[in-house]
Chains A and B, each alone.
Chain A
Amino acid sequence: MHRRGFIRSAIRGAGASLFLSGVPHVGFGQDLPAGRIILINLQGGLDGLAAVPPLGDDSLQRRRRSLMTQVVPLSDGFFGLHPKLEAFGQLYARGQASVVHATAFPYTKRSHFEGQNVLQSGVTTPYSSTTGWLGRAMDLATIPGRALSLHTPLVLRGSLDTDTYFPADISGTGRPSAEILKAFAEMHSGDVQLAINKLSEQKLVREYGVSRDPISLASKAASALAQDDGPRVAVIRVDDFDTHAGQGAEFGNLANQLEITDRVISTLKVSMGRVWSNTIILTSTEFGRTVAQNGSEGTDHGYGGVSLLAGGLLSGSRVVADWPGLGKDDLFEGRDLMSTLDYRAVCAACLEAAFGLEHDVIADQVFFEPKLPRIYDKLFV
Chain B
Amino acid sequence: MHEGYLARKLGLGTANPRAVDISAEDYVDEQLSMPIIDLALKDNIGMVTTKIIEPWPQKFDISLTEIWNDISQYRRREEQIRSSNRALSSSQLENLEILQDSLKWYHREAEAYRFAMTNLYSNHHVLNRLNLFWYNHFSVSGVDYIGDYLISIGQKLDGKFNDLLYHCTSHVAMTDYLDNSSNIGLNSRLVKQCRPDGVEECINGMNDNLARELLELHTVSPARAYDEKDINEAAKVLTGWGRYQPGNSHRWRPSKGENWFRDAHEPGGKTVLGHRIPGGQKGLRVLTDHLARDPMTIQHVSKKLLRHFCGDPIDNDDLDAVVKVWNDTGGHLPAVHREVLIRAAYKPNQKFLWPLIWAFQVMRVTGGHPFPGVDNVFYGFEEKLTRVFPKGPLLPRSLYIELGMDIFVSPQTPDGFSEEKSDWVSNEHMDRRLKFSEFVFKRAKNDAAKSKLTPDEIAARQRFSSKTIQVASSFNNDETFYQLLMCSPEMMEV
Q: Which residue numbers of A lie inside 8 Å of B, CB to CB?
A: 2, 4-5, 8, 14-17, 43-44, 65, 109-114, 116, 130, 147, 149-152, 157, 163-166, 168-174, 176, 179-180, 183-184, 186-188, 191-192, 195-196, 198-199, 202, 237, 239, 242, 244-245, 293-298, 300-301, 333
Contacts and interface: CB of A to CB of B under 8 A. Distances in A.
B243 to A, nearest CB: 14
Contact of A8 (B97, B428, B432): B97
A295 B484 CA distance: 55
B340 to A, nearest CB: 22
Contacts of B439: 170-173
- In the A-B complex, the 9 residue pairs with the smallest Cβ-Cβ separation, listed nearest first, are A15-B411, A295-B205, A296-B182, A199-B427, A164-B426, A198-B427, A173-B435, A150-B404, A164-B428
B402 A111 contact: no
Given A14-B411, A183-B480, A294-B205, 14 more contacts: A65-B199, A130-B422, A149-B426, A150-B432, A151-B404, A164-B428, A171-B394, A171-B439, A173-B435, A183-B471, A192-B430, A293-B205, A296-B203, A301-B208
A15 B468 CA distance: 37
A16 B488 CA distance: 31
Most chain A C-beta atoms within 10 Å of own C-beta, residue among B410, B411, B414, B424 = B411
Contacts of B222: 109, 111, 114
A149 B475 CA distance: 31
B204 interface: yes
A196 B216 contact: no
Nearest to B186: A295
B402 A151 contact: no
Contacts of B427: 163-165, 195-196, 198-199, 202
Contact of B492 (A166, A169, A192): A192
Contact of B428 (A44, A112, A166): A166
B482 to A, nearest CB: 11
B428 A300 contact: no
Interface string B426-440: 111111101110110
Contacts of A168: 402, 428, 431-432, 435
A187 B474 contact: no
A174 B438 contact: yes
A287 to B, nearest CB: 12
A150 B424 CA distance: 8
Contacts of A242: 209
A34 to B, nearest CB: 28
Contacts of A173: 435-436, 438-439, 442
A168 B434 CA distance: 11
A180 B484 contact: yes
A242 to B, nearest CB: 8
B86 to A, nearest CB: 15
Contacts of A5: 93, 97
Interface in B450-494: 467-468, 471-472, 474-475, 480, 483-484, 487-489, 492-493
A157 B426 CA distance: 12
B207 A300 contact: yes
B79 interface: no
A163 B425 CA distance: 10
B85 interface: no
Contacts of A297: 182, 203
A149 to B, nearest CB: 7
A111 B212 contact: yes
B488 A301 contact: no
Interface size class of chain B, counting residues whose CB lies under 8 Å from the partner chain: 35 or more
Given A5-B97, A295-B206, A180 B483 contact: yes
Nearest to B404: A150
A239 B411 contact: yes
B294 interface: no
A6 B93 CA distance: 13
Contacts of B186: 295
14 contacts: A44-B413, A110-B228, A113-B413, A169-B398, A172-B442, A180-B434, A183-B471, A183-B475, A183-B484, A191-B422, A244-B179, A245-B179, A296-B184, A296-B205
B415 interface: yes
A171 B428 CA distance: 16
B353 to A, nearest CB: 12
B428 A192 contact: no
Contacts of B184: 295-296
B82 interface: no
Contact of A244 (B204, B207, B352): B207
B467 A187 contact: yes
The interface centre, meaning the residue of B184, B425, B426 with most chain A CB atoms within 10 A of its CB, is B426
Quick one: which of A157, A165, A169, A180 has the most chain B CB within 10 A? A180
Contacts of B428: 149-150, 164-166, 168, 199
B421 interface: yes
A114 B222 CA distance: 10
Contacts of A4: 90, 93-94, 97
B402 A170 contact: yes
A84 B416 CA distance: 31
